[in-house]
Amino acid sequence: MNKPRALVTGGAGFLGSHLCDALLAEGYSVVAVDNLLTGRLSNLDHLRNNSQFEFRKIDINQPFDCGHVDYVFHFACPASPVDYTVHGVETLQVGSLGTFHALDVARKYGAKYLVSSTSECYGDPLEHPQKESYWGNVNPIGPRSVYDEAKRFTEAATMAYHRYYKVDTRIVRIFNTYGPRMQLNDGRVIPNFMKQALRGEDLTVYGDGSQTRSFCYVSDEIEGFLRLAKSSEHLPVNIGNPNEFTILECAKRVIEVTGSKSKIEYKALPQDDPKQRRPDITKARTLLDWEPKIDLEAGLKMSLEYFRLATAELAGAGKA
């Protein structure tokens, strides 16, 4: 019997590449597409000789077709504040045009569909922790709006294809996720702190560090995706770790885990930086029987080797 075939857009990204690994392990053959704007082929190096895996360099902002697929996992999108600020227009395009094209593939082949959305849909939330029923507090014209509104549009387009065209869709709202394969220079807090700590530089805490985030290790996050993919839930589901830390606490954990002598340096807080973020995962618990297992300290330890190598590589390449 032929294996089911999955399409992963953004397959060369941090989460996309881990998802490809998980789908191959689940018995899918996988075609990953990516325009490599922020994704990296090195994330897929280990799959080069896997006969069940194929990579195609495709910009999904143009209509595309890789042949019959049974499942579309739409993960293409710059995802770090630095990346989506640099590539603001491309972020809006992939959230809109790219999403239509991914949905069109699912519609054409009668494939199931799961899209990566984000806790950024909640903006700077006035409800805490955030439940899926919360509509959010997003500045529609601020610097983060290119990402937040792109993803809110992605959700709207996905629900429209579900309602009007009966596409079998799912939406995962992802909360801060970290682990191996994160780009060291993508500006997100864990890679920044790990790089700084491993180099013995001061850790740059933005603002007074009292803003909070809740960090999920990548393997927990991917397990949540797989469970949602197998479910028949069409409305958004939060997948994230509800253990909440201030950014200052997070910096201290990184210093402990790396054994670094780095100190803290305070820098200006970026505009519209959410003050608090923590998922309410009651829905994922009850619907998917999913629960994150790896706490921040354990996840940082599991990521340490990767960040050490990446920091050494960057130094070897003579880059900052």
- Catalytic residue numbers read 147
Give the integer Cα–Cα distance in Å for 167 and 159. 9
Query: Of residues 53-92, which lie at the interface with ligand UDP (CB under 6 A)?
Result: 80-81
Which is nearer to ligand UDP, 115 or 247 (by Cβ)? 247
Q: How far is the CB of 268 from ligand UDP (least distance, A)?
A: 9
Q: For residue 153, what are the contacts with CB-CB under 8 A and spacing of at least 6?
A: 95, 96, 99
Rounded Cα–Cα distance for residues 270 and 265 (Å): 15
Antiparallel, parallel or unpaired: β 244-246 and 212-214:
antiparallel
> Tokens representing 197?
């700590």
166 or 267: whose CB is closer to ligand UDP?
Answer: 267
Check binding of 211 to ligand UDP (CB under 6 A).
Answer: yes
| 189 versus 281: smaller Cβ distance to ligand UDP | 189
Among 183, 192, 238, 241, binds ligand UDP (CB under 6 A): 192
Asked if 247 touches ligand UDP (CB under 6 A), the answer is yes
**Site track for ligand UDP across 272-311, x = CB under 6 A:** -x--------------------------------------
Should residue 38 be labelled a site residue for ligand UDP when binding is judged by CB under 6 A?
no
Q: Cβ 179 to ligand UDP, closest distance in Å? A: 13
Count, residues near ligand UDP per rule CB under 6 A: 16
Nearer to ligand UDP, 77 or 189 (CB): 189
H or E stretch at 254: helix 247-258
Fill in the per-residue mask, 144 to 183: x = in contact with ligand UDP (CB under 6 A), - = not in contact.
Answer: --------------------------------x-------
| DSSP string for residues in 262-319 | --EEEEPPPTT--S---B--HHHHHHH-------HHHHHHHHHHHHHHHHHHHHHTT-
Please report how close the Cβ of residue 17 comes to ligand UDP at its closest, in angstroms: 19
Q: Which member of 188, 195, 227, 283 binds ligand UDP (CB under 6 A)?
A: 188
Binding-site member from 66, 206, 231, 302 for ligand UDP (CB under 6 A): 206
Does the footprint of ligand UDP cover residue 205 (CB under 6 A)? yes
Residue 160 or 269 with smaller CB distance to ligand UDP: 269
43 binding ligand UDP? (CB under 6 A): no
Q: Quickly count helices (H) and strands (E) in the chain.
A: 10, 13
Sheet holding 237-239, edge to edge: 53-57, 29-34, 5-9, 71-74, 112-118, 169-174, 237-239
Do residues 17 and 34 touch, judged by C-beta distance below 8 A? no
What is each CA distance from 244 to 15, 39, 129, 180, 210, in whole angstroms? 21, 28, 10, 21, 11
The residue from 15, 92, 121, 189 that contacts ligand UDP (CB under 6 A) is: 189
Q: Which residue has the tokens 């003050």?
A: 275
264 has which bridge partners? 203
Only one of the segments 41-49, 229-237, 255-263, 266-274 lies at the binding site for ligand UDP (rule: CB under 6 A); that segment is 266-274
* DSSP conformation letters of 40-100: -GGGGGGGTT-TTEEEEE--TTS----S--SEEEE--S--SHHHHHHTHHHHHHIIIIIHH
Q: Which residues bind ligand UDP (CB under 6 A)?
A: 80-81, 176, 187-189, 192, 204-206, 211, 213, 247, 269-270, 273
